[in-house]
Amino acid sequence: MPLRYSTAKSLVHLTKTSITNCDLVGEIVACLEDDVKDGIVLSKLKYLQLCGLPRLSSFCSVKCKFEFPFLEEVILMDCPSMQIFSMDEIRTPKLQKVKLTGEEDEALWDGNLNSTIQLQFMQKRELISFKTTNVAILYMLVWGEGGVGRGGKKRAVLLLCWVVAWGPAAGSARAGRTSTNAAPRHRSSSNNSGDKLCCGARRGEARGS
């Protein structure tokens, strides 16, 4: 379940947090606007990983200012619904990129954390639309009225459309993303410098240590 506002404000010694594989989590900090008297400052947080959170739309869904003066590394992976980090101002003076981890280490940056997350969300939507359109064209060419029929021509058209829809051309829809030689990933189990939050797979629970 999400953290309460008062709980989030108390995590003053948190240095690393990894929140992963929680199918039901829609936000990390949950509160009412009337409860927000001032912002949340996590003065020691340096590392934040959000991974495998299909319903996560934002870090906090109400207007609440966040300040992470020492945050240097953010990893965002498999959070397809995340459109923005915070609905209010967010300050991360040391953060220079958001890592989009996978087989290749890639990073994205658009001036600030909110804009960067909005950009990656839009790029994902454009890429999905690009692929869907080309699959529809493939179907019309091969199986639609007046299609090329069976044989060599059909296989050639099928291969061509597959390359357009799923091959290197799709990479052009990810403009603004820059490849980096990132440092090895941190494992959530090796946190020796502070507190840790971790959600169990398919459980929506936060555990601290």
Cα 180–181–183 angle (5° rounding)? 120
**pLDDT over 80 (residue 187):** no
Shared domain check, 183 and 160: no
Shared domain check, 89 and 9: yes
Report how far apart, in Å, the C-alpha atoms of 8 and of each of 4, 98, 127, 141, 183 are: 6, 22, 35, 55, 28
pLDDT tens-digit map of 73-109: 999 999 999 999 998 989 999 999 999 865 446 788 9
161 in any annotated domain? yes
Name which of 3-7, 62-66, 116-120, 155-159 the model is least confident about. Answer: 155-159
27 in any annotated domain? yes
Shared domain check, 35 and 88: yes
- Beta carbons within 8 Å of 206's beta carbon, 6+ residues apart: 1, 2, 3, 19, 197, 198, 199
Q: Dig out the tokens for 68 from the structure.
A: 């992470």
Contact between 192 and 11 (Cβ < 8 Å): no
194 in any annotated domain? yes
116 in any annotated domain? no
Shared domain check, 137 and 46: no
Which residues constitute the domain of residue 134?
A: 123-175
Cα 21–27–28 angle (5° rounding)? 75
Report the C-alpha gap between 185 and 137 in whole angstroms: 40
**pLDDT over 80 (residue 168):** no
The number of residues in the chain equals: 209
115 in any annotated domain? no
pLDDT tens-digit map of 50-59: 999 999 999 9
CB-count burial class (<10 Å; 0-12, 13-18, 19+) for 21: middle
Phi/psi of residue 207, nearest 5 degrees: -120, 140
- Helix 113-143 and helix 152-166: axis angle, to 10°? 170
Question: pTM for the complete prediction?
Answer: 0.64
Contact between 197 and 16 (Cβ < 8 Å): no
State which amino acid sits at residue 127.
L
- Beta carbons within 8 Å of 83's beta carbon, 6+ residues apart: 57, 58, 117, 118, 121
In angstroms, how far is CA 12 from the centroid of its own chain?
24
Contact between 49 and 20 (Cβ < 8 Å): yes
Total domains, the chain: 2
Shared domain check, 33 and 127: no
29 in any annotated domain? yes
Which alpha helices (H) appear in the chain, and where do they start and end?
Answer: 5-9, 113-143, 152-166
Shared domain check, 58 and 26: yes
pLDDT tens-digit map of 6-39: 899 999 999 999 999 999 999 999 888 777 878 8
Shared domain check, 98 and 155: no
Shared domain check, 60 and 135: no
Shared domain check, 163 and 65: no
